[in-house]
Amino acid sequence: MQPTRMIAADDVETLALGAAVLACGSGGDPQIGALLARLAIAQHGPVPLIAADALPDDALVVPAGMLGDPAILSEKPPQGDELVQALHVLERALNRPAAAVVCAGSFGLNLTLALSLAAAARLPIIDGDGTGRAMPGLRASGLALTGVSATPMVLCDDKGNNLTIETVSDDWADRLARTASAEMGGAAMMTLYPMTGAQTRTAVIRDTVSLSTRLGTAMRSDDAPAAALARMLDGQILTTGRVLRLHPGQVWIGAADGNNYEVRFSDVLSGVTQNGQPLAVAPQGIALIDPVSARPVPVAGLMPDQRISVLAWPAAPVWSSAAGLAMARTNGIAAPQRG
């Protein structure tokens, strides 16, 4: 498997910065995962970044990430070997070694965690992920849309406990895994959606690791980074204004032109309206960014009177399908069907 490039420790901060945009207002602090990734790369060497096409048909590919509230990791950082343990338990369950790691779902912390696992396990990481943007819940996955089962799934906590889950449906996997992660302290590292190289080529949303690096590089430049982000994502800045009000699930932004914008969120940013008219609706990507630096601002970091820009971009094609839109609606992040 010929890598497209090697990800070194010095690349991690830029990649994490760009991945935070794809977090769509959620995703926790990517710097925790970035620290783990930097340490793992320093110890084990750079991580090969490969395209999905480089995999043999029968290769075992393991998506990785975390389940639970990412804010918990800021108070209770992981020990560092939970994902490696989750990988090895899954390998034993399937009786075969993994050939590559991929990020289960694209948001800041998950991508850096997957990178830390790839480094520690001395495996390549695939240039792609399972969602293309942050999506709530285990069931909201492009991998599931292409027929990959979420199980067998392995959860590991910071105390050394691990749990293998095999269920009759992804709905049951989500329910049982969330119950287990709550008992594990509110957050657990996980491996799930194991798939073959052949499945990976159709299931993974491609190039999101490279995209994260390009986004992070743009934010570190002095050349209109907000506009650069919009171009890279084929999106647009919907408005720039000041935060007028903050309520659970809602942010109101007042623009200089007198228009008011409402941004809705649950676990992730889910919609933007202008004077009541919808401008963007998940599964479109939506991010709140600083208008000068273009650094993403998580919903939890918003303050009254703060200047903010609203960035929106098209969803990955898989989310534009009837099945993708239905999955997004089921998970509460898309507008209901009309009429």
pLDDT at 335 > cutoff 80? no
pLDDT at 301 > cutoff 90? no
Token pair of 122 as six digits: 């001395």
CA 167 to chain centre: 24
Question: Which pLDDT value is given to residue 336?
Answer: 45
Q: What is the pLDDT of residues 53-71, one digit of tens each?
A: 999 999 999 999 999 888 7
Q: Average pLDDT in the 282-303 region?
A: 92
Q: Is 276 helix (H, G, I), strand (E, B) or coil?
A: coil
pLDDT at 337 > cutoff 50? no
Q: Where are the beta strands (DSSP E) in the chain?
A: 5-7, 47-50, 60-68, 100-103, 125-129, 153-156, 162-165, 187-191, 195-196, 205-206, 236-247, 250-255, 260-265, 269-274, 277-281, 285-289, 307-313
pLDDT at 74 > cutoff 60? yes
Do the beta carbons of residue 129 and residue 106 sit within 8 Å? yes
Angle made by CA atoms 231, 327, 301, in degrees to the nearest 5: 55
Q: What is the pLDDT of residues 104-149, one digit of tens each?
A: 986 678 999 999 999 999 999 999 999 998 887 788 899 999 999 9
What are the angstrom distances between the C-alpha of 313 and each of 12, 316, 335? 24, 9, 16
Q: What is the pLDDT of residues 196-226, one digit of tens each?
A: 999 999 999 999 999 999 999 999 887 789 9
What are the angstrom distances between the C-alpha of 246 and each of 102, 158, 251, 252? 36, 34, 5, 7
116: which strand partners? Answer: none
